[in-house]
Amino acid sequence: MAELPLSAPVGVVGAGTMGSGIAQVALVAGHQVRLYDVLDGAAARGVEQIHARLDRLVAKGTLSDAQARAAKERLTAVGSLDALSDCGLVIEAVVEQLPAKRELFAALEKVCADDTILATNTSTISVTAIAAGLRRPERVTGMHFFNPAPLMALVEVPAGATTDPTVAEIVAATAAAWGKTPVRCASTPGFVANRIARPFYGEAMQVLEERGTDCATIDAVLREAGGFPMGPFELADLVGNDVNLAVGRSVWEQTFGDPRYAPFVAQQQVVDAGWLGRKAGRGWYAYDGGDRPAPHTAEPRPAPERVTYHGGFAACYGLLDRIAAAGVSVERYETGPAGTRSGAGEFEPGESAYGIELPGGGLVLETVGEPATVDGDAVALDWVGDPATASRVCLAPGDACEPATLDDAIGMFQAAGLAVSVIDDVPGLIVARTICMLVNEAVDLVARGEAAAADVDTAMRLGTGYPRGPLEWGDRIGSAIVAEILSTLARTYPSGRYRPSPQLIRAAHTGRPLRGL
């Protein structure tokens, strides 16, 4: 499908950060752009801000002087919606409230030609609901840019129930022509990125409320062990805790209280306190110029001379090479004399073990969702996103873990060049439970036909900066392992939050790749 021709002007309603950013994208692509805002002077200020950004692009060598001058000439601040009457595409970026958007689209329908495409930049509101009541709801679609619009590559194109597929195709092609990567999806709660990202915040809140560890440690583990670009608490402070809570609450309410998306008391408390994040000078962290709290990091311990690996690692298998390269002798067997994991997660004497056996007989076990306490003298090891590049690991000793076992485990990973965070024995630890929930959410979205598998992974890489898409991650780890951990968490927390997607369970039994769903 062909994109909107450059001869067609583009209208943008709302001259705030998002609106002016979207206007800049269309402008640099070669369109005439008309910027409108209901507040007096806001559109003119938006034009000034865009001019300043274009000048910075010239200074950086991204645009030539001639290109910047031509772009400025194509940009106009307008004083009424009537000035958008001949636009081929009008994109709204106004307040995230359904009544305001409905009122705006009703007004646009009166002044724009019947073939004008009307797009909403909403991140959470139903496109179907926005278009309801219009004379031609089929020409309304989503065009959700990510902030900052000129820099972020992803554009979600959610189609409402009444959206003409051709309209969504044109908008997706236009986004691609503007240098963006469009992702098509249905207009369901949270679309793709905001919906799948809910567990990234939610699992951190769960660990915090259980007093598994503190915010700084959770953030450090997800960054330095999981490979995420930011931790959930620092990211929430950046986005705004009020905004993050509102998005989460919107998804939860639109899914009629599905426990997978339920907000947490801790989130509401920081909002009630006015700790909204960076913009307020305080959120989960203080932004008064002082030092941020450091993550819990174990003091140096001596490394054991020799350990024995009996199998059972998936996400952490590559750490064995790092341990061996550090001078620790790693004898590798798939079976051994220490015991084996039974269906209940316990060890039966005299049978084969999983994990790393330490000199004193204690075990380091890659988490499978249950506490290390059920395994006796054992330490649970959290997942790492990339064993070759991880700079931290997270350990949780069981209640019966001997001090020497924990010391040996800490020393072994420190010798491999890894910082070690020791947390309480919470089920699924931090990285593993987070990744499993992201995978499950992605599988469920694809299974419902709300987005294609490839688009889901693309959206999460480009929209949230995850090191890999959740479906790719699930295939790397193994759907059977992901399903096992979720099932264990579902038994531990019988609220429905951790229920595995039926398609995930099927993939676990058949071995079908999640990216092939």
Tell me whether residue 187 is one of the annotated catalytic residues: no
Exactly one of 3, 31, 126, 144 is catalytic; name it. Answer: 144
- Torsion on CA atoms 194, 200, 205, 210, rounded to nearest 10: 150
Amino acid at 64: S
Look at the block and give the residue holding tokens 């030092």: 291
d(CA 270, CA 411): 37
Interhelix angle 431-447/470-477, rounded to 10 degrees, is 120
Are the beta carbons of 145 and 21 closer than 8 angstroms? yes
Active-site residue, from 20, 121, 123, 187: 123
- Distance between CA atoms of 409 and 324, rounded to whole angstroms? 14
509 is catalytic: no
- Which of 105, 68, 54, 53 lies closest to 84, judged by CA? 105
Is residue 460 within 8 A of residue 469, CB to CB? The reply is yes
Active-site annotation holder among 20, 121, 126, 194: 194
- At how many degrees (to 10) do helices 431-447 and 198-209 cross? 140
* Cα 412 to Cα 420: distance, rounded to the nearest angstrom: 10
Q: Provide the residue count of the chain.
A: 517
Strand, helix or coil for residue 125? coil
CB-CB contact of 157 with 184 (8 Å): yes
DSSP, collapsed to helix, strand or coil, labels residue 91 as strand
* Catalytic residue list contains 147: no
Compute the chain's Rg from CA coordinates. 26
Active site residue 194: yes
The one catalytic residue among 3, 92, 109, 156? 156
Kindly list the distances between the CA atom of residue 196 and the CA atoms of 146, 238, 318, 457, in Å, as whole numbers in the listed order: 15, 19, 27, 10
> Is 182 in contact with 452 (CB distance < 8 Å)?
no
Q: Is 153 exposed, middle or buried (0-12, 13-18, 19+ CB in 10 A)?
A: middle
Residue with tokens 């959700």: 144
Phi, psi angle pair for 78, to nearest 5°: -115, 155
How many C-alpha atoms does 212 have within 13 Å on its Cβ side? Answer: 28
H helix or E strand, kind and range, residue 421:
strand 419-422
- Would you please indicate which residues are annotated as catalytic (active-site) residues? 123, 144, 156, 194
